[in-house]
């Protein structure tokens, strides 16, 4: 009988790497496998042995690792129509992987059998059966991926079910129903999966969905509702075309919404951590708007929303962010109300109500010039302190100049000159920038300030981004510069905006420096 616990089968290392722009080294795949094991994933599909040297190298490396929660699975196809199982190169490579779990896919859509494989329908059924019978003696368990199952069922339900029956009789532990083209809708998945669950009560039923209709997660959930107890997908939904079922949405939905155990609520608290680890290792840009784990998943901007969640988070949050290892963020913008300021500010503004309107007015003025404080927490903190008179300048700008030159030999040189006063001391410094004009300006500022504030030696720039605020104005557009800075303990973000990119950069740099200085309270 099918188990009550929902088995999670991760195919990030195989299906995920088929996504456009995704490439993971062997070392990266090992690192992700370790993360998935720590997270509590039951099955980790490592790749298709024999399809490329990288995948076989992974399986060799995986044999030396000890997994606490996970079992490694190898993926491949049924035997070729012309080969006996024992002589089929693909099946041989699956066995050589020494993976305890082998997952093979076979055709369940009659159209694919006749037009893609170009073999009689009966021959395909025998290919499924004989392949599984051969493999079942070589590993712990064999899973059968019924490729294009839902399309096949809609075309010829009798044949699609025969394909499953052939796999079950041959000894497959789990029958996985695949929406390979990603075109099915949730009600179709629900109805068809119910039929399969009823017809095959003595074997596990799995679901493998693709996101071509933006339904992969919903379709997986519907399959579980119909009785499936095995869900396949990838972390963050990465994969071919529009991607695969996103396990970072499926798992919390199972655990928190459907009250079904999969990895357990204790491990669920590491969901955001595993999501970001995979993004980093796979070198894929993080999607801020991703449900559950995205940076914006629990971000609140509207004043009414912030006021409500301050009383009870359930008013505008479907779960508590800490349940999935995420955090609530309060955003500051022209839409902000007093509730946003009270929630966001490090200073207790409830004791300074006379300043609240002034702060909101200043934010609105700056946003007209291109500022955005949603992610620039450090600049917002400085704005509040300046407005209420709790922050005095650490230095006074008298002027700066930046020169960029491209010479005949294509050598690029940038030089910045800065004039500032630190108290009564006048500083006039110049510095070259090997990475461009902003680098030169940063070097000149540091050269002038570090003698007075040695703590700035700890400061380093981590990231630099430029956004055109109003592209319709072409070269007259304002630009917004966002700078991420760090020291030994913290990371913070500042923002500057101007029609001049160098000035915008200067404003963001100054905020980064002043935030560091006021944070350490290291006045001269």
- Which of these three, 256, 282, 308, is where a domain ends? 282
Q: Are residues 325 and 452 in the same domain?
A: no
Structure tokens at 1: 């009988």
Q: d(Cα 447, Cα 43) in Å, to the nearest integer?
A: 55
Q: Are residues 172 and 256 in the same domain?
A: yes
Q: What is the tens place of the pLDDT at every residue in 119-147?
A: 999 999 999 999 999 999 999 999 999 99
pTM of the full predicted structure?
0.74
Does residue 515 have a pLDDT over 60?
yes
| Residue 29, in any domain of the structure | yes
Q: Which residue has the higher pLDDT, 318 or 389?
A: 318
Structure tokens at 119: 């073999």
Q: What's residue 296's pLDDT?
A: 83
Q: What's residue 218's pLDDT?
A: 98
Q: Are residues 255 and 338 in the same domain?
A: no
Q: Where are the alpha helices (DSSP H) in 283-374?
A: 303-311, 338-344, 353-368
Q: Are residues 330 and 426 in the same domain?
A: no
- Which of these three, 282, 309, 340, is where a domain ends? 282
Q: d(Cα 317, Cα 300) in Å, to the nearest integer?
A: 10
| Residue 373, in any domain of the structure | no
Structural domain boundaries enclosing 417: 396-520
Q: Are residues 205 and 278 in the same domain?
A: yes
DSSP code for 116: I
Structure tokens at 326: 């995420």
| Residue 452, in any domain of the structure | yes
Q: Are residues 420 and 510 in the same domain?
A: yes
Q: d(Cα 495, Cα 377) in Å, to the nearest integer?
A: 9
Q: What is the tens place of the pLDDT at every residue in 4-41?
A: 799 999 999 999 999 998 989 999 999 999 999 999 99
Q: What's residue 464's pLDDT?
A: 87
Q: What is the tens place of the pLDDT at every residue in 167-219?
A: 999 999 999 999 999 999 999 999 999 999 999 999 999 999 999 999 999 99
Q: Which residue has the higher pLDDT, 309 or 513?
A: 513
- Which of these three, 282, 312, 344, is where a domain ends? 282
Residue found under tokens 């037009």: 115
Report strand pairing: 230-233 vs 299-300.
unpaired
Q: What is the tens place of the pLDDT at every residue in 338-361?
A: 556 556 666 666 666 677 777 777
Q: Are residues 225 and 273 in the same domain?
A: yes
Q: Are residues 153 and 261 in the same domain?
A: yes
Q: Are residues 128 and 228 in the same domain?
A: yes
Please answer whether residues 59 and 74 qualify as being in contact, where contact means their C-beta atoms are separated by less than 8 angstroms.
yes
Task: For residue 374, give the nearest of 318, 302, 455 by alpha carbon.
Answer: 302
| Residue 477, in any domain of the structure | yes
Q: Which residue has the higher pLDDT, 46 or 329?
A: 46
Q: Where are the beta strands (DSSP E) in 124-236?
A: 141-147, 174-179, 204-209, 230-233
| Residue 463, in any domain of the structure | yes
Q: Are residues 256 and 324 in the same domain?
A: no
Supply the CATH number for residue 215's domain.
3.20.20.70
Does residue 241 have a pLDDT over 60?
yes
DSSP letters of 26-90? HHHHHHHHHHHHHHT-SEEEEE-BTTBHHHHHHHHHHTT---SS-EEEEEEEPPPTTS-GGG-HH
Q: Are residues 353 and 257 in the same domain?
A: no
Q: d(Cα 112, Cα 178) in Å, to the nearest integer?
A: 14
Q: Which residue has the higher pLDDT, 12 or 524?
A: 12
Q: Are residues 198 and 234 in the same domain?
A: yes
Overall number of domains in the chain = 3
Supply the CATH number for residue 425's domain.
3.30.160.270
């Amino acid at each position: 009988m099918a188990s009550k616990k929902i088995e999670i089968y991760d195919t990030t290392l195989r299906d995920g790497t088929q996504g456009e722009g995704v490439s993971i080294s062997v070392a990266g795949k090992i690192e992700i496998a370790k993360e998935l094991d720590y997270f509590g994933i039951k099955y980790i599909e490592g790749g298709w042995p024999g399809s490329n040297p990288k995948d076989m190298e992974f399986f060799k490396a995986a044999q030396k690792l000890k997994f606490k929660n996970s079992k490694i699975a190898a993926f491949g196809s049924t035997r070729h129509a012309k080969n006996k199982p024992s002589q089929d190169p693909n099946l041989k490579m699956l066995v050589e992987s020494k993976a305890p779990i082998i997952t093979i896919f076979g055709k369940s859509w009659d159209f694919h059998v006749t037009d893609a494989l170009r073999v009689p329908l009966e021959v395909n059924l025998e290919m499924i059966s004989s392949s599984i019978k051969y493999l079942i003696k070589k590993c712990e368990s064999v899973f059968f991926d019924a490729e294009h199952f839902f399309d096949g069922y809609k075309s010829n339900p009798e044949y699609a079910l025969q394909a499953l029956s052939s796999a079950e009789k041959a000894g497959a532990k789990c029958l996985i129903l695949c929406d390979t083209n990603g075109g099915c809708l949730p009600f179709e998945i629900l109805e068809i999966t119910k039929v399969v669950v009823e017809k095959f009560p003595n074997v596990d039923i799995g679901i493998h969905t693709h996101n071509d209709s933006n339904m992969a997660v919903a379709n997986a959930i519907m399959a579980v509702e119909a009785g499936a107890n095995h869900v396949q997908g990838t972390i963050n939904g990465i994969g071919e075309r529009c991607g695969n079922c996103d396990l970072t949405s499926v798992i919390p939905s199972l655990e928190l919404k459907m009250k079904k155990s999969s990895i357990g609520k204790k491990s669920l608290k590491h969901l955001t951590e595993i999501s970001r680890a995979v993004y980093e290792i796979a070198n894929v840009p993080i999607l801020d708007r991703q449900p559950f784990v995205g940076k914006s998943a629990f971000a609140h901007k509207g004043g009414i929303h912030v006021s409500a969640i301050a009383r009870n988070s359930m008013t505008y949050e479907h779960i508590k962010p800490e349940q999935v290892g995420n955090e609530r963020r309060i955003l500051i913008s022209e839409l902000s109300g007093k509730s946003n300021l009270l929630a966001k500010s490090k200073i207790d503004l409830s004791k300074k109500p006379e300043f609240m309107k002034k702060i909101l007015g200043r934010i609105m003025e700056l946003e007209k010039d291109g500022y955005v404080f949603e992610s620039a927490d450090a600049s917002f903190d400085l704005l509040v302190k300046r407005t209420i008179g709790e922050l005095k300048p650490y230095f006074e700008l008298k002027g700066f100049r930046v020169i960029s030159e491209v010479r005949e030999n294509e050598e690029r040189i940038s030089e910045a000159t800065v004039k500032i006063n630190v108290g009564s001391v006048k500083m006039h410094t110049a510095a070259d920038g090997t990475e461009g004009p902003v680098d030169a300006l940063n070097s000149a500022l540091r050269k002038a300030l570090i003698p007075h504030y040695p703590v700035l030696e700890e400061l380093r720039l981590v990231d630099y981004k430029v956004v055109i605020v109003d592209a319709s104005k072409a070269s007259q557009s304002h630009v917004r510069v966002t700078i991420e800075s760090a020291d030994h303990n913290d990371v913070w973000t500042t923002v500057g905006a101007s029609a001049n990119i160098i000035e915008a950069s200067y404003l963001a740099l100054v905020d980064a420096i002043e935030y560091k200085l006021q944070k350490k309270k290291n006045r001269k």
